[in-house]
Amino acid sequence: MYKYIFFDLDGTLTDPREGITRSVQYALAKMGIEEPDLTKLEVFIGPPLVDSFMEYYGFTLDEARQGTEYYRENFSVCGWCQNKLFDGVKKMLTDLKEHGRVIAIASSKPEYFVEKILAYFEIDGLFDYVCGGSMDESRTRKDQVIEELLKRMNLSGSEKKKILMVGDRRHDVEGAAVFGIPCLGLSMGFAAEGELIQAGAAAVVDSVEGITEYILKGAGSYEME
């Protein structure tokens, strides 16, 4: 059924907890806010940074943009590689490729950092397309990223029906739904309990191996032509 697989990055393929939370902590300190509890900052993993600064710390739009600049000061130096590839990800991606799937990244993280991270973990060669957010904040929401990815892929109407999004937050589910794309949720990421189902995920799996099972043997099975 699904030929084109769009993957979120943070919380889906990698555990970016340390790099993101420490970079948010750094940004908050620059804005005069001391936050010693890194676990409180895990809510920043997944959504656009500007939105999170406004939602969780009451920043104005200008303040949120300044906070994002401070965040990137730290993230660009060390935060991007304070990251771990989830066990089994490389095998999962390899198996999907061997079964003829076209694999893409659709991440709100700036594309520059997405490409660095994929190369760092030596999985960049497994992706047919990589699309991330923009540094100028003009493309940060998941629906904006997916829209750009669809433009780059230039798929016909019938081929678009063979797309599956895979992500760990409601933003992945809701962003994909804008284009009628179903989303497979991954509960081992950073979603609150019940978040993915409430957002409308087609299904939820609890492991990287579960992604492979769903796509190749479950509801997403598809005989390649």
Answer yes or no: 143 catalytic. no
Name the CA radius of gyration of the chain, rounded: 17
C-alpha 15/C-alpha 150 separation (Å) is: 26
Residue 37 burial (CB count, 10 A): 9
Which of 8, 10, 15, 168 is an active site residue? 8
Q: Which residues contact 1 (CB under 8 A, 6 or more apart)?
A: 162, 219, 220, 221, 222
C-alpha 104/C-alpha 20 separation (Å) is: 22
Pinpoint the alpha helices (H) of the chain: 17-30, 49-57, 61-75, 89-98, 111-120, 142-153, 157-160, 170-177, 195-199, 208-212
- 8 A C-beta contact, residue 185 and residue 197: yes
Catalytic residue ranges: 8
